[in-house]
């Protein structure tokens, strides 16, 4: 079974600085998808960024980028120029390729990010 | 375009009571999901519906039933609520086709069972 580990229960960053959140996963599959979701105090789960394992290029979305190391099974999220609105719980998630039960997302336990003014 | 909506937002039940959580999506998605989120844990899949007319168990299905009423709606029923079912429940939907099948989530329902 796939597992997702986020080793940092809490992180903090100064406004305008850069922070990196860590995620590792365990799988025997060669193709899969990885996601970072953000959950602010409103509890809404918001997709931040997505990475396809078959793509070597790291995904970027504005101030958010990932460092995807397939061999190491590592998928870290970098937030540049941190803003107060980035404060939230961040979840790393894994999904197998294909349909049916493979659509299940496996989540890590989350990292609570605090942004200090 | 409201995305994924859930009702109610909050609910308090007594042990043994029943209730249904409602979920609807307006994105014409084929697949829908129910997750629960407990403190200190990520979301765990309860049930999912890959397409209209089909439902399957996820990781933690015990104590729940689901109904895929039509393509838009997917409900979760607790027949006899237990304190262990106190949690935040999220509904999600996705296109259900293709490789990059991203799930989009509703705002959640906070359920307390006394």
Interface probe for A, chosen from B36, B40, B43 (most Cβ of A below 10 Å), is B43
Q: B34 is written with which tokens? A: 């129910």
pLDDT of B21-43, one tens digit each?
A: 999 999 999 999 999 999 878 89
Q: Taking the domains of chain A in order of start, what are their residue ranges?
A: 3-116
Local structure of residue B8 (DSSP, 8 states): -
**Using CA of residue A7, residue A10, residue A14, residue A15, what is the dihedral sign?**
positive
pLDDT score of B50: 86
User: Which residues on A lie below 8 Å from B44 (Cβ)?
Assistant: 107
> What local confidence, expressed as pLDDT, does residue A98 receive?
67
Instruction: Provide the pairing of β-strand A10-14 with A111-116.
Output: parallel
A92: closest CA among A23, A20, A43? A23
Distance CA A87, CA A83 (A): 8
Nearest CA distance, B24 vs chain A (angstrom)? 15
- A30 pLDDT more than 80: yes
Structure tokens at A25: 């996963």
The matching CATH number, chosen from 3.30.360.10, 2.60.40.1730, 2.60.40.10, 3.40.50.970, for A3-116 is 2.60.40.10
Per DSSP (E only), the strands in A31-107 are 32-39, 46-52, 60-61, 64-69, 74-79, 88-96, 105-107
Residues of chain B with pLDDT under 70: 1, 97-100
């Amino acid at each position: 079974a796939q597992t997702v580990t986020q080793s940092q229960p809490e992180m903090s960053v100064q406004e305008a600085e850069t922070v990196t959140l860590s995620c590792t996963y365990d799988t025997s599959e060669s193709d899969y998808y990885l996601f970072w979701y953000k959950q602010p105090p409103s509890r809404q789960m918001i997709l931040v960024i997505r990475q396809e394992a078959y793509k070597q290029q790291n995904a970027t979305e504005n101030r958010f980028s990932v460092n995807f190391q397939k061999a190491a099974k590592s998928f870290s999220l970098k937030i540049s120029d941190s803003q107060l609105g980035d404060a939230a719980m961040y979840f790393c998630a894994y999904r197998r390729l294909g349909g049916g039960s493979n659509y299940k997302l496996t989540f890590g336990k989350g990292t609570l990010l605090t942004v200090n003014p | 375009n409201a995305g994924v909506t859930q009702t109610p937002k909050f609910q308090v039940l007594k042990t043994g009571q029943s209730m249904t959580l409602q979920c609807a999506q307006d994105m014409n998605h084929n697949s829908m999901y129910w997750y629960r989120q407990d403190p200190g844990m990520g979301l765990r899949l309860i049930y999912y519906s890959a397409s209209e007319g089909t439902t399957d168990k996820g990781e933690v299905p015990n104590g729940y039933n689901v109904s895929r009423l039509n393509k838009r709606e997917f409900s979760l029923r607790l027949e006899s609520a237990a304190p262990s079912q106190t949690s935040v429940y999220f509904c999600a939907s996705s296109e259900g086709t293709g490789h990059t099948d991203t799930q989009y989530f509703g705002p959640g329902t906070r359920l307390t069972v006394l």
